C-alpha cells in the first residue's frame, strides 16, 4: 500500500516518464505512416530545419516557443503537447501500482494510444508497434498471473472471423493482432466481452454522430483501434464496477 507521499512522488515520476514517451510517440505518429526511420534528429514540419534539444523538451518547449517554430515562425501542430500530456496522464493513471508494474502497464497503454492515434489518421496499424505491445502484454499477464486462454480465444476468434468473412474490409489483421494483446491486458474473458461490447457501442455512437453531421457516409470506413483503445481503458479501470452492477 503506497503512502500519500510515496503516491505523489510516484505520480510525478510517472508523469515525467509518460511525457517523455509522449515526445517519442509524436515521432512515431509522424514517421511510421511515411515509412521513415524513427532515428535521427527531428525537424520542423514546415521549414525542415533540425530542431535543438530545447525545442523538443516535452510540453515546456511548445509553451516557450509559443507554439511556433523558432526558425520559420510557422505554427507547430498542437498534436505535440496533446500527445505528450495524454501520455503523461496514462502513466499517472496507473500510479497506484508498484512502480515497476506501473511502468509496464503505462507502456502498454501508451503504445495502445499511439497505435490508435496512427490508425485514426491513416486507418493502418503497424506491426512495428503491435509486436512490442504484444510482448509487453505477455509480460504483464505473466507477472500478474491473469492469463486467460478463453479471453484470447473470444477476442481473436471474434475479430478473426469478421476479418475472414469480410476479406479484411470490416477489420484487418492488424486489429486481430491488436486485440490479442488487449485480451492479455484486460485478463478475464468477462472483461474481454465487456471490452468488445464497449468497443462497438462507442464506435456505433461515434459513427451515428458523423452520419447525422454529414461528415461521413454509410459506405465510409472508420478506424477501429481508437474504439478498441478507449474500451480497453474503460474496462481496465471500471470493468469490475460495471460487471458487478449487472451481476456478472
User: Looking at the predicted structure, is the pLDDT value of residue 1 above 60?
Assistant: no
Q: Specify the DSSP element, H or E, that contains 141.
A: helix 127-144
Question: Taking a C-beta distance cutoff of 8 angstroms, is the pair 95, 11 a contact?
Answer: yes
User: Looking at the predicted structure, is the pLDDT value of residue 93 above 80?
Assistant: yes
CA atoms within 13 A on the CB side of 137: 25
CA dihedral 193, 93, 106, 142 (to 10 degrees): -50
pLDDT digits (tens, 9 = 90+) for 147-183: 999 999 999 999 999 988 888 888 889 999 999 999 9
Query: Position of cell 478463453?
Result: 150
Percent of all residues in the chain with a pLDDT value above 70, rounded to a whole number: 98
Residue 2: the pLDDT is 63
The rounded mean pLDDT for the chain is 89
How many angstroms separate the Cα of 222 from the Cα of each of 104, 166, 201?
Answer: 30, 15, 14
Confidence of residue 243 (pLDDT cuts 50, 70, 90): confident
Q: Any idea which of 57-71, 179-193, 206-220 has the lowest mean pLDDT?
A: 57-71
Residue 217: the pLDDT is 84
Torsions phi, psi of 31, nearest 5? -95, -40
Amino acid at each position: 500500500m503506497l503512502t500519500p507521499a510515496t503516491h505523489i512522488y510516484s505520480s510525478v515520476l510517472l508523469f515525467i516518464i509518460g511525457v517523455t514517451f509522449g515526445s517519442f510517440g509524436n515521432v512515431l505518429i509522424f514517421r511510421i505512416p511515411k515509412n521513415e526511420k524513427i532515428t535521427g534528429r527531428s525537424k520542423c514540419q514546415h521549414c525542415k530545419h533540425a530542431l535543438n534539444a530545447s525545442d523538443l523538451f516535452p510540453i515546456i518547449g511548445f509553451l516557450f516557443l509559443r507554439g511556433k517554430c523558432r526558425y520559420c515562425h510557422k505554427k507547430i501542430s498542437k498534436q505535440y503537447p496533446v500527445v505528450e500530456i495524454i501520455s503523461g496522464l496514462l502513466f499517472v493513471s496507473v500510479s497506484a501500482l508498484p512502480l515497476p508494474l506501473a511502468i509496464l502497464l503505462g507502456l502498454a497503454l501508451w503504445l495502445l494510444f499511439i497505435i490508435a492515434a496512427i490508425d485514426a489518421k491513416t486507418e493502418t496499424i503497424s506491426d512495428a508497434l503491435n509486436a512490442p505491445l504484444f510482448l509487453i502484454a505477455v509480460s504483464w499477464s505473466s507477472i500478474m498471473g491473469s492469463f486467460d486462454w478463453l479471453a484470447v480465444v473470444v477476442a481473436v476468434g471474434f475479430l478473426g472471423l469478421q476479418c475472414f468473412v469480410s476479406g479484411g474490409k470490416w477489420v484487418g489483421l492488424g486489429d486481430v493482432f491488436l486485440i490479442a494483446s488487449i485480451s492479455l491486458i484486460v485478463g478475464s474473458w468477462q472483461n474481454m466481452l465487456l471490452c468488445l461490447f464497449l468497443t462497438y457501442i462507442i464506435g456505433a455512437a461515434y459513427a451515428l454522430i458523423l452520419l447525422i453531421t454529414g461528415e461521413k457516409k454509410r459506405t465510409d470506413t472508420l478506424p477501429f483501434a481508437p474504439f478498441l483503445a478507449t474500451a480497453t481503458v474503460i474496462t481496465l479501470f471500471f470493468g469490475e464496477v460495471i460487471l458487478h452492477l449487472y451481476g456478472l
